[in-house]
Structure 1
Amino acid sequence: MHAHSLDFLDLAMEYDALRFGEFTLKSGRVSPYFFNLGSIASGAGMARLADGYAAALEHAGIDYDSLFGPAYKGIPLVATLSCALVPRGYNVPFTYNRKEAKDHGEGGTLVGAPLGKRVVIVDDVITAGTAVREAIDTIRANGSEVAGLLVALDRQERGADQRSPIQALADDEGIPTVAVATLTDVIGYAERRGLDADIRGSIRAYQAEYGVTPAPGA
C-alpha cells in the first residue's frame, strides 16, 4: 500500500468518511462499508485530502496540463488539488462546470481557466459513471483530450456488464484512472489497523461476490 493511500484511509476514518457495518447501496447491494467524502469538511481535512490526491496523481506519471472538476463535489476537490500541487512544483490551471448554463454575464457552463490540451478529471468516487461521461463529453466538445480520471476511492466493484465503471472507461474510452485508494487497500488497511475480524471477513466476502479483478499493477 502506498503511503498516500494509508494516510488517506486514516483521514477517512478520522472524519467518518469511511464507516463499517451494513449499508444498503443505491444498487440494492448490502455493503459492509460506506464511503462519503463529503464528511471531510474542514480546512485541515481538505488540505490532507488534497495532498493525497496530489501524491496519487504525481505517482501515476500522467501527462497533463489542466484539471477539471465536475459539479458539485468535483469543484472543491479540483480547487484544493490545484493548491496542493504548487509545493510539488506544479502550477496547474483548473476548470469546473455549472449544472445549468448561465444566461447572463459571461454565460456558458464552464468556470475558471480555459481547458488545456490534456485534462485530468477530478472526482470523489465513481458509481454509475454517468457524471464522468458527461464531463468527458464536455471536455471533448471544447477540443481538449481527457488525459485521465483521478478519484479518491476505486470500489473495484462490478456493474451491470460485469465490469467496474472504471474498467469500462478504460476499455471504452481509453482513459486511465488513478485512485488514491482501492477496495484492496481498504482490506489491507482493515488488517493493518487490526479492525474486528468479522468486519474484515465481511469485506472479503463482499469483494469475492461483487469485486472485479484489478488490472496488473493496480
Structure 2
Amino acid sequence: MSSMNANAASDRLAADFVAFSVQAGVLRFGEFKTKAGRLSPYFFNSGLFDDGAKLGRLAEFYARRLLASGIEFDMLFGPAYKGITLAAASAVELARLGRSVPFCHNRKEAKDHGEGGLMVGAPLKGRVVVIDDVITDGASKRESVELIRAAGAEPVAVLIAMDRMERGGRDDNLSARSAVEDFEREFGMPVLSIANLSDLMQYLRSNDDPDLAAHFARVAAYRERYGV
C-alpha cells in the first residue's frame, strides 16, 4: 500500500472510530471535570464499551491500528484494570485476523497463594505492545514498561484508543508537551492511538447533525487553551 493510501486508510479508521464511540455513548459532550480539574467539553469513557458487540467492534479498531502501524511485536500486555479487557479482546481479534499472539496482564497487588506473583497469562518475552484506553499522566504505562523490562522483554509501543493531545500542568504553568509526547520522549517508543483530538474535531466540523456540530466551537476553544 502506498504512503498516500496508508494515510487515507488511517484517517478513515480514525473517523469510523470517533463515529462509533459517539454512537455507543462512550464519547460524550457537555461539561466534565478532568483528573487535572479542568472543565472539558467532551469525555471519553472506555468503560462504557460494556457489552459483547461493542467490545468486539472496539477490538477490531485496536487490531487494525496495530497491524497497520507496521510495528513488529510478539505479544500484548494489558495494565490493570482497563487494559486487561482491552488486551484480551485485541488478542482475540488479532487471532481472528490470522495473527494469534500471547497476552498477559498485571495485578495491582501480588498474590501470595496459587501461582502467586504480579503477572497473569503468558510469560513476558520478546517485543511487547502495551494496550490501554488513554494516557493521562502516564503513570500506569511507566509501571508497565518497568515490569516488561524487568522480565527481560522489550516494550516496543503503547496503543491507546484516544489521544486528547492535551498539555499537563497547572493553568498558569502548562507543560510544553502532552502526556503522550512526554512518554514518547522519556521512553523512546511510539504511542499509537486509534484516534485523537484532531479526528474528533474533524468529525464535529463535518457532521450533518446540528446538535453535534454545535459542540465544535467549545471543543476548539478547549484545544486552543490546553492542546498541543
TM-score bracket, normalised by the shorter chain, equals: over 0.9
Q: Is the 8 A contact 2:125 2:151 kept in 1?
A: no
CA distance in 1, matches of 2:88, 2:206: 32
CA distance in 1, matches of 2:35, 2:183: 21
The correspondence for 1:174, drawn from 188, 191, 196, is: 188
CA distance in 2, matches of 1:23, 1:139: 34
Partner of 2:150: 141
1:19 CA drift (Å): 0.5
CA RMSD of aligned residues (A): 1.2
Q: Is the 8 A contact 1:98 1:109 kept in 2?
A: yes
CA distance in 2, matches of 1:177, 1:26: 20
> What is the SS of the residue equivalent to 2:176?
coil
> What is the SS of the residue equivalent to 1:181?
strand
Q: Deviations over 1:74-109 (max 9, x none)?
A: 011000000111232211100101111010111101
Which of structure 1's runs of 4+ aligned residues deviate more than 4 A? none
> What is the SS of the residue equivalent to 1:33?
strand
Partner of 1:215: none
Partner of 2:44: 35
Residues 1-218 of structure 1: matches in 2 within 5 Å?
Answer: 2-160=11-169, 161-194=175-208, 195-196=210-211, 197-212=213-228
CA distance in 1, matches of 2:13, 2:122: 28
Q: Is the 8 A contact 2:110 2:118 kept in 1?
A: yes
Q: Deviations over 1:189-212 (max 9, x none)?
A: 112223544410111111111111
TM-score, structure 2 length as denominator?
0.89
> What is the SS of the residue equivalent to 2:177?
coil
Q: Is the 8 A contact 1:129 1:165 kept in 2?
A: yes
1:40 CA drift (Å): 1.0
1:173 CA drift (Å): 0.8
CA distance in 2, matches of 1:36, 1:83: 22
Q: Is the 8 A contact 1:47 1:80 kept in 2?
A: yes
1:28 CA drift (Å): 1.5
TM-score, structure 1 length as denominator?
0.93
Q: Is the 8 A contact 1:7 1:52 kept in 2?
A: no
1:4 CA drift (Å): 2.1
Q: How many residues align?
A: 212
Which structure 2 segments of 5+ residues have no match? Answer: 1-9, 170-174
Percent identity for Structure 1 against Structure 2: 47
Structure 1 range deviating more: 20-29 or 32-41? 20-29
CA distance in 1, matches of 2:56, 2:161: 14
CA distance in 2, matches of 1:54, 1:61: 12
1:15 CA drift (Å): 2.1
CA distance in 2, matches of 1:52, 1:24: 27
